[in-house]
Amino acid sequence: MSFEIMRYGDMSKILYLTMDDVKSAGLTDEDFINCVSDSLWQQNLGKVDIVPRMSILLDSDACLNAAAGWVEKLGAVGFNWSSYYPNNRAKGLNQYSGMIVLSDINNGLPYVIMDSFYIISKRTAAVTAVSAKYLARQNSQTLGIIGVGVQGRENLRMLQLVLPNLNLVKIYDINPDAIDTYIRTMSDEFRGKIVPCQSIEETVEDVDVLITATAIINNPTVQIKDEWLPQKGIFIVPLDLLSLIDRKTVLRMDKISTDDITQIKSLDMDFNDGGPKIFAQLDELCVGKEVGRESEEENIMAINFGIALHDIYIAKKIYEVSKEMGIGTWLPPLTW
């Protein structure tokens, strides 16, 4: 596959890819997991550069985020510009939107602009799956999901690839229509049983793995009491950054991992109040520098924020496939 960038005279043409274009590139769930895993290896080898996410808060919940990175192996450098507006739901709009821009490493000019919504949706779930590979009990059978939107669906798709014994998914959402959509969408994709629950307590009882995928808010209210959860052997992934989880639960974890320690410290989440320390970054688990789950009884949490490294790695792959398949629209250069 060629890495040559198409030219407009001496300037780089820009390939514009909509979300439908990105989907048309045809990357499978396994491809996304493999891209994340490979990028983690490159991260541990020091063959990347990662700029931590920066956020602009426009009101109590809405924000815009920027993150950048570089991957030597792919010759790829770029950034992800995304927004999170939870009130967009009421307007009939997505809560998340954004784009990924890659630039020519030889002259800095952009050569692809692509919608990032689909990529981020898949990447987030792929990072969960890679984390589960090292931190969940490999015989896990029961998965609880709170919040059954895009991430509720994508995480199930990815997790069943790395946890082959999953046979029961318990789901909960405050929106009954979302539950109906989830069951209709996922019943044919999941090999086991999907059970809608009437309460959060019912959802989290006796689960091996718990995913919380609700709105990220600045002043959250505890909705998952620690006594409702299994006291041994659970693996928890709070995609909503602990918006629902009791502090008691966090403090009793035997291990907490993350995809980027710098980011977790920047958000004052390094647990300096006597709780468990961050024991490993995900790249260290991937290459075997740190050991993940060591017993069936360990309680483990993975707090992953998402780093531009994964998005850039995936975006470069999609660009190459799209160029080869003739997907997207070529635009003239932005700079003359």
Q: How many angstroms separate the CA atoms of 26 and 236, rounded?
A: 30
Confidence of residue 272 (pLDDT cuts 50, 70, 90): low
Q: Give the pLDDT confidence of 218-268 residue by residue, as tens digits.
A: 778 899 999 999 999 999 999 998 889 999 999 999 999 999 988 777 665
CB count within 10 Å of CB 140 equals 21
pLDDT at 2: 41
Q: Is 270 exposed, middle or buried (0-12, 13-18, 19+ CB in 10 A)?
A: middle
SS3 (DSSP) at 104: coil
CA distances from 186 to 180, 210, 268, 310 (A): 10, 17, 36, 26
| Nearest partner of 251 among 236, 265, 267, 266, judged by Cα | 236
Q: How many angstroms separate the CA atoms of 172 and 153, rounded?
A: 12
Q: What are phi and psi of 293, to 5 degrees?
A: -70, 130
| Nearest partner of 279 among 305, 253, 297, judged by Cα | 253
pLDDT at 55: 86
The CATH architecture annotation of domain 7-120+309-331 reads: 2-Layer Sandwich (3.30)
DSSP, residue by residue, 187-212: TTT-SSEEEE-SSHHHHHTT-SEEEE
Residue 215: how many CA atoms within 13 Å on its side-chain side? 19
Confidence of residue 96 (pLDDT cuts 50, 70, 90): confident
CATH number of 137-305: 3.40.50.720
pLDDT at 1: 37
Q: Residues 152-174: what's their mean pLDDT? A: 98
Q: How many angstroms separate the CA atoms of 38 and 147, rounded?
A: 29
pLDDT at 277: 79
Classify strands 329-331 and 14-17 as parallel, antiparallel or unpaired: antiparallel
DSSP state of 276: P
Confidence of residue 94 (pLDDT cuts 50, 70, 90): confident
SS3 (DSSP) at 54: strand
Confidence of residue 95 (pLDDT cuts 50, 70, 90): confident
Q: What are phi and psi of 58, to 5 degrees?
A: -100, -20
pLDDT at 3: 44
Alpha-carbon dihedral 46, 321, 15, 77, rounded to 10 degrees = 0
Q: Give the pLDDT confidence of 125-150 residue by residue, as tens digits.
A: 999 999 999 999 999 999 999 999 99
- Cβ within 8 Å of residue 281, ≥6 positions away: 257, 258, 259, 260, 261
CB count within 10 Å of CB 238 equals 23
What number of helices (H) and strands (E) belong to the chain? 10, 17
Mean pLDDT of the chain: 91
DSSP state of 55: E
Confidence of residue 62 (pLDDT cuts 50, 70, 90): confident
Instruction: Kindly tell me if the per-residue pLDDT of 11 is higher than 80.
Output: no
Contact criterion met (CB below 8 Å) for 126 and 29: yes
Q: What percent of the chain has pLDDT over 90?
A: 77
pLDDT at 7: 57
Helices 150-162 and 117-135 cross at an angle (nearest 10°) of 40
Q: Give the pLDDT confidence of 106-123 residue by residue, as tens digits.
A: 888 999 999 999 999 999
- Cβ within 8 Å of residue 75, ≥6 positions away: 3, 105
Structural domain boundaries of the chain? 7-120+309-331, 137-305
SS3 (DSSP) at 186: helix
